[in-house]
Amino acid sequence: MREAIELAIDRQALVRVAFNGGRIAGNHYVPPSSSWYVPSLPIPKRDVVRAKALLREAGVPNFSFTLLVPSGTEYQQVAEILQAMLRDAGRADAGSRADAQLGEAAAHLDRA
């Protein structure tokens, strides 16, 4: 399921739309601003067809989870873009969904 979610996200489009191209698309879980960032890793390409196939292979006809999002317009916009991308990879007719819950970052620590 993690690989399917990764394949559902177009990182370049996310940066272009949410940040007007003013950020670097991440290639793994470590942000580009970190000294642990590995710039030589390729940025994963979006492949919705493969994401759907992986979900089918895993026997996951639908998925449902909540994105815990810090408060703020920028974060909310990123969450909305991610929701749309994930919706494309899932089966809305089968109930696939990714909800977003906005709140203070510290309040999400108990739920993470």
Residue 95 has pLDDT above 70, yes or no: no
Predicted structure pTM score: 0.82
Q: Report the pLDDT averaged over residues 18-25.
A: 92
Q: Are 83 and 98 in contact (CB under 8 A)?
A: yes
State the DSSP code for 68.
Answer: E
Residue-level pLDDT at 72: 86
CATH of domain 2-108: 3.10.105.10
By C-alpha distance, which of 33, 39, 43 is closest to 10?
43
Q: If pLDDT is split at 50, 70 and 90, which confidence band does 92 have?
A: low
Q: How far does CA 90 lie from the centroid of its chain?
A: 13
Write out the H or E segment, with its range, that includes residue 98: strand 97-103
* Residue 37 to residue 106: CA distance in whole angstroms: 25
Lowest mean pLDDT among 24-28, 30-34, 58-62, 88-92: 88-92
